[in-house]
């Protein structure tokens, strides 16, 4: 079946077929990580919708909204190759009325860890995701574990607002050298990329430890060894459901998350691990 490109609500209604619908929300610049999300959606649903929309609400005033890569023709080729049924590609005017008044608040959980460095970011993420849910009306949606705090907040929103949507998390896809796939990786020079590998090395080293203190200490050592070209925003060991920092007695699943800037490119990464301080 030919790929349908929908620009608005009426197009989505016309494209709707019977059976389960899966949504894969993206901002475009699709890579192998996005392909993995699409493939998971394809297994679970009769119709797969991929949204491509660079959401202005989730970018701060000093962030890279205008610089964010826009590769729509190449993205369509990826969607065709992966058997996507519908690409939803609205413009900003379709998504946000000029007199828009109401947004989603991410609450306290949206103000910590990544949210502490990007005020309002998760409000913008949840607002656009809720609008996409309302427009596409999927039965399930697939998000990447690489954006672990985003995934946790979307699950919280679905639970708190009683949305009838199943949320699937897909594992982070990495390049052979360990760097987590990101649309922003294209901005790294060869030298920057070598420095950026400290993020995944730190996570692997931390994940090999069992106690919170050792996890933090070992991972921080790796980041410090990368030198001044790696500007770390945070290294956080958190509860995967709330993203609150865990204490030294915590046992069970946790997320070790890191964010840093290399050159002009800000990168995030995380790993899930099991703590057993006893």
Go through 98-108 and write b for each residue having 16 or more CB atoms within 10 A of its CB, e for each that does not: eeeeebbebee
Strands 230-238 vs 252-262: parallel, antiparallel or unpaired: antiparallel
| pLDDT given for residue 35 in this prediction | 98
108 appears as a binding residue in the annotation: no
Strand, helix or coil at 212?
A: helix
Give the containing element (helix H, strand E) for 104.
Answer: none
pLDDT in tens, 124-145: 999 999 999 999 999 999 999 9
d(CA 54, CA 66): 10
DSSP line for 36-67: HHHHHHHHH-SEEEEEE---GGGS-TTS-TTT
Own/partner contacts of 1-4, CB < 8 Å, gap of 24 or more, are 1/85, 3/76, 3/79, 3/80, 3/84, 3/85, 3/86, 3/87, 4/85, 4/86, 4/87
Cα(163)–Cα(94) distance, integer angstroms: 22
pLDDT less than 50: residues of the chain: none
For residue 62, the model assigns a pLDDT of 79
Residue 277 pLDDT: 76
Catalytic residues: 34
**CATH 3.30.1300.10 residue ranges for the chain:** 185-271
User: What's the token pair of residue 160?
Assistant: 């708190």
Radius of gyration of the chain (CA): 19
Q: Token digits for 113?
A: 């860890």
Structurally, at CATH architecture level, domain 4-170 sits in: 3-Layer(aba) Sandwich (3.40)
Cβ atoms of 233 and 260 within 8 Å: the answer is yes
* Residues carrying CATH 3.40.50.620, the chain: 4-170
Q: Output the pLDDT for position 47.
A: 98
Q: Would you say 182 is a known binding-site residue?
A: yes
The 3 state secondary structure assigned to 213-249 is HHHHHHHHHHHHHCCCCEEEEEEEEECCCCCCECCCC
What is the pLDDT, as a whole number, of residue 193? 96
Q: Classify domain 185-271 by CATH architecture.
A: 2-Layer Sandwich (3.30)
184 annotated binding-site participant: yes
CB 40 within 8 A of CB 75: no
Please report, in angstroms and rounded to a whole number, the separation of the first and last CA atoms in the chain.
56
What is the distance, to the nearest Å, from the Cα of residue 178 to the centroid of all Cα atoms in its chain? 18
- Tens of pLDDT along 40-75? 999 999 999 999 999 999 998 878 788 888 999 999
Q: Does the annotation place 8 within a ligand binding site?
A: no
pLDDT at 150: 98
The pTM for the full model equals 0.95
β-pairing verdict for 47-52 and 86-88: parallel
pLDDT of residue 92: 93
């Amino acid at each position: 079946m030919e790929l349908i490109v929908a620009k608005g609500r009426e197009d989505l209604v016309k494209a709707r077929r019977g059976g389960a619908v899966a949504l894969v929300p993206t901002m475009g610049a699709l890579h192998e990580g996005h392909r993995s999300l699409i493939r998971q959606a394809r297994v679970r649903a009769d119709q797969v919708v991929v949204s491509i929309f660079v959401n202005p609400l989730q970018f701060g005033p000093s962030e890279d909204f205008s610089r964010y890569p826009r590769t729509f023709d190449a993205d369509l080729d990826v969607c065709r190759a992966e058997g996507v049924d519908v690409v939803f590609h609205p413009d900003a005017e379709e998504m946000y009325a000029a007199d828009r008044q109401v947004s989603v608040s991410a609450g306290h959980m949206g103000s910590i860890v990544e949210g502490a460095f990007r005020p309002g970011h998760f409000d913008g993420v949840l607002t656009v995701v809720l609008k996409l849910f309302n427009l596409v009306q999927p039965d399930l949606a697939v998000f990447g574990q690489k954006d672990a705090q985003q995934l946790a907040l979307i699950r919280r929103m679905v639970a708190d607002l009683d949305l009838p949507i199943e949320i699937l998390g897909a594992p982070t896809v990495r390049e052979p050298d360990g760097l987590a796939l990101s649309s922003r990786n294209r901005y790294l020079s060869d030298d920057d990329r070598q420095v950026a590998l400290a993020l995944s090395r730190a996570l692997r080293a931390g994940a090999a430890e069992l106690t919170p203190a050792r996890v933090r200490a070992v991972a921080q050592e790796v980041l410090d060894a990368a030198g001044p070209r790696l500007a770390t925003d945070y290294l956080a060991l958190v509860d995967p459901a709330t993203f609150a920092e865990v204490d030294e007695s915590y046992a069970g699943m946790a997320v070790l998350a890191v964010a840093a800037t290399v050159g002009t490119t800000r990168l995030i990464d995380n790993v899930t691990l099991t703590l057993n301080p006893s």
